[in-house]
Amino acid sequence: MRYDLNLLPVFVTLMEERSVTRAAERLGITQPALSNALTRLRTMIKDQLFVRERYGMQPTPMAQELAPVIAAALARIDDVILGQQAFDPTQAERLFTVAPNGYVEFVLAPAIVARLRERAPGIRLRLTPFGNDLSETGVISGTTAMVLGRMVDPPDNLVVQHLMDDGLACVVRADHPEVGDTLTREQYERMRHVNVLPPGRLRAGLFQALERQGLKREVAVSVTHFLAIPEMIAVTDYCATLPRLICRQLRHDPRLKVLDAPVDLGTFPVEMAWHVRYRHDPAHRWLRSLISEVAKTVATSE
């Protein structure tokens, strides 16, 4: 029997998204085009594959049985074809979808883009958010090239590489009436705080670090992105506890001052993960190497 291989990525994406709308967005096609592809899939497989229910499209037993087989087949095809292709970064024209968490987008993404502009001007990046769920990024199906952040319990079809570690420090306004060149535990616990609630595991890591040290914190306001912090701290007597590499950038703001945390809050890892199907893709390997190089440079520079 003849199979239309173009339909297989559609199947994998629908398995992850359970929504025609979200699957179409990830694949970069219209909803009618995806619906048409699903109709052809159903005809080819001779099964309904997905049944519309109240909370999304649920896979049939046939779809659940096919999912790991199709994912493995696509990975093998990529290994064979892509592994034979040469890659010249100075001449390459390619779009990579990368999912960084909020921290990586703030700390590493600008340096990655600058390095790409110098070495591979034809390589373009599309950034998509990396929140709590790896499956939402598209990396598990391979529709997203890689995720950057902190990986917790990644599935077996992802390769995870450690990029660097970062610690935590505190930021207050430069003319804070109660804080000088150091921040004591008593001052920290007496102050009110701005809490960053980005999606993902970084948030949990800070809460756990505070709990381990028995350090209390009264949260006055919570924000969703690191970019909100400078303006918030500059006009209040609040304190923010942030990754050191973010604090390093905030040192350039004369309205702010960066101080060591009153206790050692430890470190957290920054990682990169990608689908096994890209293991031998020359362009992907080159981009991974560049990102790893940038991370090392950013982590060690002053």
Q: What is the pLDDT along the chain (302 residues), one digit of tens a residue?
A: 567 878 888 898 888 888 888 888 878 888 999 899 999 999 999 999 999 887 778 899 999 888 888 877 877 776 666 655 667 889 888 899 999 998 999 999 999 999 999 999 999 999 988 876 787 788 887 888 999 998 888 888 889 999 999 999 999 999 999 999 999 999 999 999 999 876 544 456 777 888 888 889 999 999 988 889 999 999 999 999 999 999 999 999 999 999 999 999 999 999 999 988 888 888 999 999 999 999 999 999 86
**β 158-166/146-149 pair status:** unpaired
Q: In the prediction, which pLDDT does 203 show? A: 52
Please tell me the distance from the alpha carbon of residue 129 to that of residue 224, in angstroms, as a whole number: 13
The residue with tokens 């505190």 is 170
Question: Look-up: residue for tokens 């080159």?
Answer: 286
User: Do 121 and 240 form a contact (C-beta atoms < 8 A)?
Assistant: no
| Superfamily classification of domain 168-266 | Periplasmic binding protein-like II (3.40.190.10)
> Where do the CATH 3.40.190.10 domains begin and end in the chain?
94-162+269-300, 168-266
Q: Which CATH class is domain 5-82?
A: mainly alpha
Global pTM value = 0.72
What is the CATH code for 94-162+269-300? Answer: 3.40.190.10
